[in-house]
Each structure stands twice: as C-alpha cells, then as structure tokens.
Amino acid sequence: MFSIEHEFDSTVITLVDEGEAPLQEDITINSFAECVTIEQFDPRTDQVHKITLSPEMLRDLAAALDLPEGVYQLRETVAGD
C-alpha cells in the first residue's frame, strides 16, 4: 500500500509494507525539485535513516530496476543522433 500527498515544496510518497511478518518499517519518499530523500525509521537504533538522491541518481535507479547485471551509463541523445 502507498499514499501520495502534495506538500508546498514537495511530493511525499509513503510506502507501507503489507507482506508477511516480519514487516519492514514504512518508507517516506520526499520529492523536491533539486533532490529526492528516502527515510525509514530503525527501531533498533531509534533513529530515522535518510538517503538523498540527485535527480540523475533517481533516473539511474529507475533504469537499473529493469536491466540485467552489468555496468551502464545513461546518456541523453539529441534528435538526429
């Protein structure tokens, strides 16, 4: 299950684990114009862990989910190339 909310300066997506136990803590994704942050509470340390991705890193992650093992570099192409 997930929810999407539009805030003043970002879009917030919350992912809720509905699989079989043991369930993972919710993940909150904040999408800003300049970056995307991913946060998850760690009950073992009682802290929230945050990862920050640039727009390019997010693009690469999305592409990597559908590619086989290997090393890749995405490049923009100009019409006519």
Question: In this structure, which amino acid lies at residue 23?
Answer: L
Average pLDDT value for residue range 3-24:
93
The token pair at 49 is 């862990």
- Structure-model confidence comparison of residues 76 and 12, the more confident one: 12
pTM for this model (two decimals): 0.81
- Confidence band, pLDDT 50/70/90 cuts, at residue 81: low
Question: What pLDDT, in 10s, does the model give residues 34-56?
Answer: 999 999 999 999 999 999 999 99
Closest CA to 26 of 37, 18, 17: 17
